[in-house]
Amino acid sequence: MIKKVILSILILVLFVEIVSLVTHTVFLPADILRTLPSFSENGWIKPHNSLLSDPVFQFEPWRIFTKEQIVHGDVPLWNNLNGLGAPFLANLQTSMFFPLQILYYLLPVTWSLFLIALFKVFLYEYFFYLYLRQNKISKTVSAITSIASFGGFFAVWLNWPQTNVFLLFPLILTFIDRYAVKKEKKYMILLPIVFFLAFLGGHPETFFLISLTSVIYSLVRYRRTFIVVVTSIIFSMFLASFLLFPFLEYLFNSYMLVSRLTQVTHQLPLYSLVFDTFPYLLGAPHLSFYKPLSDSINYQELVGGYAGLIAILVAIIAIVRFLKNEFIKTWLIIGVVSILVAYKFPVIFSLFENSIIKANANHRMSAFIGISTLMLFAFGLDMLMTVKKTILTTKFVRSFSLFLTILTCLYILSFFIPLEVGGKYHDFYSFLLRHILLILFSTFFFFLVLFQRRRLSKRFLVLGLTVAFFSQTVLFFVPYNTFAPVSSYYPKNEMVEYLQSHPGNILQVGNPSLPPNINMAYGISNVQNDDALEVASFRTDFDNAFPKKNLWRNVDDVTKVSLENFNIRNVISDYDIRNTKISINPGTKDVYPLLNNKYIIEFTGNGRELRQARLLTATYNRVNNCIVKVNILKVSKRENIARNTFPCTSVYDKMFYTLDISPVTLKYGEKYALEISEYSDNVKNSVGVVGENKMPYLDLLFQDDTFDGIGSYKKITNFYITTFKERPLIRGKGVSIKILKHSPTTLNFIASTKKTTQVKIYKTFYPGWEAYINNKKARIGSLDSFMSINVNKGENFVSISYRPKSFYLGMFVSFISLFLLTLYIMRTLYFDKGNIFYRYFSNFDKNFRQILAKLPLWYITVSAVISIFIGTLVYLFILKILPFRFVYNDNMVINWFYEFKYPKQQDYFFYILAMIVISIIGVLVWLILLNRYKKKK
Amino acid sequence: MKKTLLIVFVLLIFIDVIWFTTYCFVMPINLIDEGQFAAWANHMMHGEKMYTDIYITYGPLYVYLVYLYMKFGATSLQGVRMFLFILNFLTCIPMSYLILKNLKLKKITILYTLSFLFLLLPIFSIRQALGFFAIYLEMKLIDGESRIVAFFLGIILAVSFLFSPDIGLYAGIVVFVANIVPLIFMRNVLEHMKRIIYVVLGASLVGIVFAFWAAGEGWLSSYITTTIDVLATLSGTGSPIGQNYPYFFELIHGNLSPILLFKSIFSKEMLVYWVFLFNIIIVFTSFYTFLTGSINKINKKIFLLYLFCLILSITLIGRNGIGHVLFVLPPIIIILFIFLERLVFSSNEKMSNTFRLVMGSIIIIFLFRILLIYRPTYFGIFRINNILAKDYENVNLVGVAPVDNASQLKELKKFIDKQTVKDTQIFLLKDEPGLYAILDRSNPTRYDLPFIADSLPKRYELINQIKFSNIKYIIDDTLAWDVDGISNRQRIPELQRLLENSFYKCDIIGKINIYCKK
């Protein structure tokens, strides 16, 4: 068994290596970066899946940052690259302690990302299988259902931390069942451990939901067992205190908590339940067609409960026929509760709306609708496969066949007869029809095979059911995630190189250019943060300083004072911020096609020089080959005063396009108009403009001298970068500052002043920061949302470091909890004689004593020497292949290590690794050698 | 048998007298080792507070004993050396004896072990002795004694921590493990928990008394912050001292010539790998004991020694010079003698004479190699005549022992006595704290060993203390040893700048530069 597992892992690693070498790809939708104008200099490129931005914009940069910090021998407590500093470890979504992440820390990214995803899917399906088998579902049905469980929620959120948590849910259920049935203590121990691992997964909301569902499950199915489940959840919280405490501290200081409590509850509209049957009704982001249901409800939210029509129908049959069964009853209740929580039902909605629960992502409860459906399906299918009498009547087969034939004909006809109802949506309707047809056909085929089972061989029966079921589950979702070429993995372009050579905080204005937290992948600091929580005081001050936001929720307007107040050095904008922007039509609700249309926007002259015009374009999620024409004319004389054209390939979907205009002064009070039209040959090569009330969005930019002479200016493809002179991180009146060290968690500087003065440090004020002046503790004050400190007359060495008490207290609680748990486990293993471990060891012990009694001492000693030697060789081999090396961490100390740039952590790492490897491998080899001697004899 | 024992005993006493004479009268006074204790005690006699005004890397009780001794007796650094020697002798040998006796070893083994440890006495200080005492009390608890012993164990643990934070911590870990493991195997957990509570009570009692004393004298909070700093900075790159663990393949010079290989294997530098190998052997031995099911009381007690040895060896990762190798050796030596006894006296039929001979020889070679490290000390006795006959330049407060560069120090002493009064402050640029005691002047900074102040906060603390003090001289003995080969001018560049900007060289005595304030 062990040999098989080792062999399988080796083959898997080899396979991943070959795949990554041959294809030179990485399992990350990194191609999405090229949807940003800043990363697609040669025009817009359609990504594989437009919704997979978070893994690229956030999770991967977080992983890069974490690995970098670990290699430097630091605990990644603080993110110094976003929002002028924010807690990092407290941001649970980084999942930095999730066991599978170890692969990321140890292996190259081309291997690790794929292996992590692979293990996630494998483990989820395996746990699902275990659970079904625990409930006596046949092996075949368990296997089919567990593989199909990949569809829906798990597939669309595969690259998110949600699935780290969710993958353990079936395992939790298995342990609950085993405990309830066998009453063995070991499940009481395993349950909190699994809940703890789920917490490390990094998504507190999903953790809350699986905990809630586990409690409901145990309560409904086993009544008293729920106490064990609740205790396990509480104990897992103790184990995870080192993360929980900093997280709670961050949560209560977060902008998210405030904003969520003022938002409407997160629930899905009731009618969207239909997407759990037909997931492509609005297309899908990885296909040719896609439209979100609304601004806040996208495809991923809609299909969370998807399990397929087959599963739903079988589940209904199971409910109708076996309602009295405890298993069916339990999952029916969970399914109903999930629907009530995830979807807006009139009374329940208002209950949620008026309680704190609305702050939770309740709509994600839809995942449990999918899982309930699959459970009911598995039970139902298993029963139906064993029922002797035929259920399906010939009449039913005939009518279903007729229905399918009509649909097929309609589909074929759609290629010949123009469906006027759709007009330009013709292709989409064909696609939709095909989609519905596939679902209906596979459903029909499934039932046909199922009810003709007695006439079919078992192999064909299984094959038929699997093909039909997989065609509407696995098949739909396997292409959802993607590999991307290594070249698109955070490429270094001109903009990135420019920003790296001009260090300082950046701010993106207008279009997204380097959204937070992508900057972390490049070591660039961004004044904004997007970690889902955000420090409340900073975010509020930021919003007050930059009140105007656009449809991307980006800052759209800046002032000199606000840039200075937030220590911003580089502004990346789609328009030249040195101009004054005047909004003519700010509406962004609708999209208007330019094909065969001309839009005229009138405005009045203000006596200033017009430099640029800013439109909001739409590409319909495709690459178009056309030309957009813009004219500016005097209304009274119909005289053209400026004109310009631009290719449609240079516009981006729902992004601003800023048009340079030859400078022209608009006469005060005179009426002018801007005309937009398009040269295009057909509907598939046409763009649109965003606007409202049939008027396109328009900003006009006039010459201004506010920013003159205070910074340099550079245009890189479609971006303008305004760089101001380097702004000091620490400022104080009459204080000279020399920064000695600046790392994420430490800032050391020398402040020289002639009198006691307050200095302002442009780092976010947050609990956990401590200051020492000349090795004596000092108080940190808050000035706006930043830190401030009083320095005394003379030269002061100031050391500010982030040492969150919440983390250290949490570590203490976690350690105590882990200690108690270990103690309990050891006691249980020792006293519980029925325990498998105990039995194994006592037998081993007995056999070994017999062996040892017969062995001469010289053999025992010589074999020990050989074993130590082999253990040492293995250790040296591990050192050779393990790429993990600490980097010298430039610290505050000048000593031998500093002089020779030697990281001390390396010695500790090598020493402890040597002790562990040589001891374990040596002892194992020793046991083998001793055993061999006995066999020879 | 008795006659043999007597002869061995007499011989050993003779050797030990030689050892004491050489160590205390022939070997030059060390201005760092006994020097730092003398300096701290001297500062305290000038009215300075421990930890608040002096950065002390040891526990307060250790320093306070030397302070009391100097206050009421000693007038020289030699006196401090003798005091520490006798203190070590009076504690180490009895503690080792108690442990060996508790392990029920044969008298002859106990005698040999004690003699061997006695021969290496300077490496075996009261710090380790207190750790051993805690282990001895834990052994008594394994024997079944309870409550009072547990309470006393708590007291000793706390005292050990107050003597030496690192040894106190290591002994604490051993006691912690020894008391936690039974919680797994005992049915009656409550009874055992009571014993643990007594240990905690004992430690708390000392802690409370100490807290009142330290708070009364006004250095409690400084003690806590300094001790945390000492424990924290002695690990990782923040370590004020230390070099990297020697690279094995560099030690054997990549040369496979048998003679060179032999020399490399038995070199002083290779001893760290000997210790590492010994730790691995300990793991194997423990595993063997566990598998053979011979977990009796004696083996449990030996396991305590194993654990202490494993934890103590971690010190070598931070600093691995010969001094620190010797520091971790005492438990290893005791364990080796236990092994030896089993080889010689065991009635195990499986143990052939050849086996006994080979294994015994390996142990004896190792022990002999350790003894060889101290060969200059033993041969030093032949120089006693020269020392006694020599009309050497006795430096005030050194005693009758030699000291390096004595004439220079004497000149310096004269200079300081002439130019300054008793409360004048001076600062020594090199790590020779003993000079503060010799010159009988106080230091304006907390750091008598400036190399410890190599981190930025401490560097600036030191600089500010010099800047805002009435310091008269900064003394730079260019002949003094640089710790780890890194000079304090390198370690504290701010001090170098301060010297250049605010001081000038106002005198030279031999190789000693004296800087005055501009």
Q: Return phi, psi of residue A46, to 5°.
A: -70, 125
Backbone region of residue A85 per phi and psi (left: phi > 0; alpha: psi in -120 to 50; beta: other values):
left
Q: Searching chain B, which residue's CA lies closest to the CA of residue A749?
A: B456
The 10s digit of each residue's pLDDT in B66-112 is: 999 988 876 688 888 888 888 888 888 889 889 999 998 888 888 88
Does position B409 have pLDDT exceeding 90, yes or no? no
Contact assignment for A899 to B461 by CB distance below 8 Å = no
Contact assignment for B355 to A895 by CB distance below 8 Å = no
Contact assignment for B238 to A748 by CB distance below 8 Å = no
> d(Cα B111, Cα B9) in Å, to the nearest integer?
8
Partner residue facing A918 (CB), from B280, B359, B492: B280
> d(Cα A344, Cα A267) in Å, to the nearest integer?
6
Query: Please, what is the end-to-end C-alpha distance for chain A in angstroms?
Result: 27
Partner residue facing B238 (CB), from A871, A891, A922: A891
Q: Which of B190, B280, B495 to mutate to test the interface with A (most CBs of A within 10 A)?
A: B280
Partner residue facing B486 (CB), from A741, A899, A922: A899
Cβ neighbourhood burial of A287 (10 Å; 0-12, 13-18, 19+): middle
Residues of chain B numbered 226-255 and touching chain A (CB < 8 Å): 235-245
B294 touches chain A (CB under 8 A): no
Chain A, chain B: beta-carbon pairs less than 8 Å apart: 153
Neighbours of A805 (CB within 10 A): 13
Query: Which chain B residues touch A902 with a CB distance below 8 Å?
Result: 244
B460 touches chain A (CB under 8 A): yes
Contact assignment for A895 to B458 by CB distance below 8 Å = no
Contact assignment for B184 to A827 by CB distance below 8 Å = yes
For A496, the token pair is 């990135």
Q: Searching chain A, which residue's CA lies closest to the CA of residue B465?
A: A774
Q: How far is A873 from chain B (nearest CA, A)?
A: 13
> d(Cα B486, Cα B329) in Å, to the nearest integer?
27
B279 touches chain A (CB under 8 A): yes
Contact assignment for B457 to A899 by CB distance below 8 Å = no
Who wins on pLDDT, B380 or A596?
A: A596
> d(Cα A409, Cα A859) in Å, to the nearest integer?
83
Q: Searching chain A, which residue's CA lies closest to the CA of residue B246?
A: A907
Cβ neighbourhood burial of B266 (10 Å; 0-12, 13-18, 19+): middle
Partner residue facing A848 (CB), from B183, B237, B291: B291
Q: Which of A742, A797, A837, A924 to mutate to test the interface with B (most CBs of B within 10 A)?
A: A797
Positive or negative torsion for Cα A833, A838, A843, A849: negative
B461 touches chain A (CB under 8 A): yes
Q: Which residues pair with B103 in a beta bridge?
A: none
Partner residue facing B184 (CB), from A794, A826, A906: A826
Q: How far is B455 from chain A (nearest CA, A)?
A: 4
Which residue stretches of chain A have pLDDT < 70? Answer: 1-10, 12-14, 16-17, 19-22, 264-265, 388-394, 396, 411, 414-426, 708-709, 833-845, 883, 889-891, 933-937
Q: Are B32 and B94 in contact (CB under 8 A)?
A: no
For A410, the token pair is 């309609």
> d(Cα A732, Cα A734) in Å, to the nearest integer?
6
Contact assignment for B456 to A907 by CB distance below 8 Å = no
Q: Which of A740, A880, A893 to mutate to test the interface with B (most CBs of B within 10 A)?
A: A893
At how many degrees (to 10) do helices A204-222 and A169-182 cross?
30
Partner residue facing B243 (CB), from A830, A889, A896: A896
Q: How far is B453 from chain A (nearest CA, A)?
A: 9
Query: Which chain B residues touch A830 with a CB distance below 8 Å?
Result: 184-185
- The structure tokens 């307060």 sit at B60
> d(Cα A388, Cα A404) in Å, to the nearest integer?
28
Query: Which chain A residues touch B464 with a CB distance below 8 Å?
Result: 774, 794-795, 797
Who wins on pLDDT, B118 or A634?
A: A634
- Tell how many helices (H) and how many strands (E) occur in chain A: 32, 28
Buried b (16+ CB within 10 A) or exposed e, B419-439: ebeeeebbbbbbbbbbbbbbb
Contact assignment for A868 to B277 by CB distance below 8 Å = yes
Contact assignment for A896 to B486 by CB distance below 8 Å = yes
Contact assignment for A904 to B236 by CB distance below 8 Å = yes
B346 touches chain A (CB under 8 A): no
Query: For position A420, what pLDDT does the model report?
Result: 47
Q: What was the ipTM of the complex prediction?
A: 0.90
> d(Cα A236, Cα A211) in Å, to the nearest integer?
11
> d(Cα A570, Cα A721) in Å, to the nearest integer?
6
Q: Are A612 and A575 in contact (CB under 8 A)?
A: yes
B352 touches chain A (CB under 8 A): yes
Q: Which of B516, B441, B463, B452 is nearest to B488 (CA)?
A: B452
For B354, the token pair is 């050849």
Cis peptide before A517, with omega less than 30 degrees from 0? yes
Q: Which of A748, A751, A757 is nearest to A790 (CA)?
A: A757
Partner residue facing A896 (CB), from B238, B314, B484: B484
Residues of chain B numbered 393-452 and touching chain A (CB < 8 Å): 451
Strand blocks (E) in B294-404: none
Q: Find the angle CA(B347)-CA(B353)-CA(B359) to the nearest 5 degrees.
A: 95
Q: What is the mean pLDDT of chain B?
A: 86
In the three-class reduction of DSSP (H, G, I as helix; E, B as strand; rest coil), residue A149 is classed as: coil
Query: For position A790, what pLDDT does the model report?
Result: 94
B484 touches chain A (CB under 8 A): yes
pTM of the entire predicted model: 0.80
Q: How far is B176 from chain A (nearest CA, A)?
A: 12
> d(Cα A137, Cα A384) in Å, to the nearest integer?
12
Taking only Cα atoms into account, the Rg of chain B, rounded to an integer number of angstroms, comes to 25
Q: Which of B224, B234, B284 to mutate to test the interface with A (most CBs of A within 10 A)?
A: B284
Query: Which chain A residues touch B180 with a CB distance below 8 Å?
Result: 823
Q: Are A759 and A751 in contact (CB under 8 A)?
A: yes
Positive or negative torsion for Cα A296, A299, A303, A308: positive
Give A312's contacts (C-beta < 8 A, 6+ positions apart). Answer: A276, A277, A373, A377
- The structure tokens 């400190």 sit at A789
Query: Please, what is the end-to-end C-alpha distance for chain B in angstroms?
Result: 74
Contact assignment for A914 to B276 by CB distance below 8 Å = yes
Strand duo B425-428 + B471-477: pairing: parallel
For B98, the token pair is 């108690």
